[in-house]
């Protein structure tokens, strides 16, 4: 099975860790107001809307927002103003120094208890999106800065971005967060997905470890990113929820040639069908934008 992943990888395709609602994004500044209702694929999902929304009638439009506070558009309309776009807030140095607590203005953000032991209480990022608070004790254990970290930050694996290695506080063994390139910031971060231990998906996150400021990475991928995020959102989400498929993605992120990518695919046979579905979708719907 010959899958031409290297072409796709070289484009800096982003947003592999997606919101359960599909991760539809747009580069326009309009936002869904906190407290809105997500309407994705025609099915309303109760809860705050933190996604950037596409204009109704747009070729990629299957996610709009309705209800909510000032600035929220009507159903099928285009919301003006507002805050709290999913994945749209630049992260730049160890999260935000804002606390959690009750009465969160960003809505019903969940608290997390990682492996039933480590508390990551809900907090609000300045843009109004949901986030999780990493206190100084937890931060010191994994080598990151304490702060209020937004969840579901989009990005693509990037071998040029440094990984974060640490001692796992749960079992004392080695831990590893692979390097990634933030889709909206164009700077390096690390991919953090703690769902296997009942934690949040932070996504491609700048953890504030190390000095010198954020490291630039990747390059503009424009319509290719947008097309894949919208047209193949279900396939990406399924891949990242399938351990063997996610392993292919993580492994291939360190490759510099096609034989290396082929080896990643060959050594994870259980993930091949789901991975092939994703690559088929990219080729079917996004080939013109991703050439």
Mean pLDDT of 178-204: 87
pLDDT-wise least confident of 78-82, 137-141, 247-251, 259-263: 78-82
Residue 68 binned pLDDT confidence (cut-offs 50, 70, 90):
very low
Mean pLDDT of 34-58: 36
- Name the strands in the sheet holding 155-157, side by side, starting at the edge strand that comes first in the sequence: 155-157, 179-182, 188-193, 201-205
Mean pLDDT of 184-189: 83
Give the Cα separation of 108 and 103 in Å (integer): 9
Q: Residue 154: pLDDT above 80?
A: yes
Q: Residue 12: pLDDT above 90?
A: no
The distance of Cα 221 from the centroid of its chain, to the nearest Å, equals 16
Q: Residue 270: pLDDT above 50?
A: yes
How much of the chain, in percent, has pLDDT values that exceed 90?
A: 9
Range from 8-17, 139-148, 154-163 that averages highest in pLDDT: 139-148
- Between residues 44 and 112, the one the model is more confident about: 112
- Per-residue pLDDT at 240: 83
Q: Residue 243: pLDDT above 70?
A: yes
How much of the chain, in percent, has pLDDT values that exceed 70?
A: 57
Q: What is the pTM of this model?
A: 0.44
Give the Cα separation of 287 and 43 in Å (integer): 28
Mean pLDDT of the chain: 65
Q: Decide if 271 contacts 242 (C-beta within 8 A).
A: yes
- Strand-pairing partners, residue 204, are 191
Residue 268 binned pLDDT confidence (cut-offs 50, 70, 90):
very high
- Per-residue pLDDT at 120: 92
- Per-residue pLDDT at 124: 86
Give the Cα separation of 173 and 175 in Å (integer): 6
Mean pLDDT of 258-278: 90
Q: Residue 119: pLDDT above 50?
A: yes
Residue 212 binned pLDDT confidence (cut-offs 50, 70, 90):
low
- Between residues 243 and 1, the one the model is more confident about: 243
Q: Could you give the count of Cα atoms lying within 13 Å of 228 in the half-sphere of its Cβ?
A: 31
Cα dihedral 231, 249, 116, 182 sign: negative
Q: Residue 233: pLDDT above 70?
A: yes
- Between residues 253 and 39, the one the model is more confident about: 253
- Per-residue pLDDT at 290: 67
Cα dihedral 142, 147, 150, 155 sign: negative
pLDDT-wise least confident of 84-88, 125-129, 211-215: 84-88
- Between residues 20 and 262, the one the model is more confident about: 262
* pLDDT digit string, tens, across residues 18-31: 332 333 333 233 33
- DSSP states of the chain as a string? ----HHHHHHTT----S--TT-----SSS--PPTT-EEEETTEEE-S---S--PPTT-TT--EEEES-STTPPPTTS---S----TT-SPP-SSSBS--B-SS-TT--PPPEEETTTEEE-EEE-TTS-EEEEE-HHHHHHHT---EEEESSB-EEE-TTSPPEEEE-TTTSSEEEE-EEEETTT-BEEEEEE-GGGT--EEEEE----SSSSPPB-----HHHHHHHHHHTHHHHHHHHTSHHHHHHHHHHTT-SSHHHHHHHHHT-GGGHHHHHHHHHHHHHHHTTTT-
């Amino acid at each position: 099975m010959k899958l031409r992943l290297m072409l796709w990888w070289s484009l800096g395709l982003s947003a592999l860790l997606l919101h359960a609602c599909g991760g539809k994004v747009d580069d326009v500044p309009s936002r869904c107001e906190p407290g809105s209702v997500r309407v994705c694929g025609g099915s309303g999902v109760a809860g705050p809307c933190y996604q950037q929304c596409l204009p109704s009638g747009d070729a990629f439009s299957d996610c709009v927002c309705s209800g909510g506070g000032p600035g929220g558009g009507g159903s099928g309309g285009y919301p003006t103003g507002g805050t709290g776009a999913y994945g749209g807030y630049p992260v730049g140095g160890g999260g935000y120094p804002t606390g959690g607590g009750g009465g969160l203005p960003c809505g019903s953000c969940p608290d997390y208890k990682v492996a039933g032991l480590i508390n990551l209480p809900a907090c609000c990022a300045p843009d109004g999106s949901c986030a999780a608070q990493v206190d100084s004790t937890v931060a010191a254990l994994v080598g990151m800065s304490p702060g209020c970290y937004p969840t579901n930050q989009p990005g693509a694996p990037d071998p040029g971005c440094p990984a974060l290695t640490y001692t796992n506080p749960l079992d004392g063994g080695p831990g590893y967060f692979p390097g990634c390139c933030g889709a909206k910031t164009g700077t390096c971060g690390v991919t953090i997905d703690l769902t296997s231990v009942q934690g949040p998906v932070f996504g491609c996150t700048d953890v504030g470890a190390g000095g010198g400021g954020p490291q630039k990475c990747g390059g503009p991928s424009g319509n290719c990113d947008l097309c894949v995020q919208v047209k193949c959102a279900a396939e990406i989400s399924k891949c990242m929820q399938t351990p063997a498929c996610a392993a292919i993605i993580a492994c291939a992120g360190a490759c510099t040639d096609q034989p290396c990518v082929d080896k990643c695919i060959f050594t994870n046979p259980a993930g091949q069908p789901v991975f092939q579905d994703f690559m088929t979708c990219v080729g079917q719907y996004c080939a013109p934008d991703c050439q």
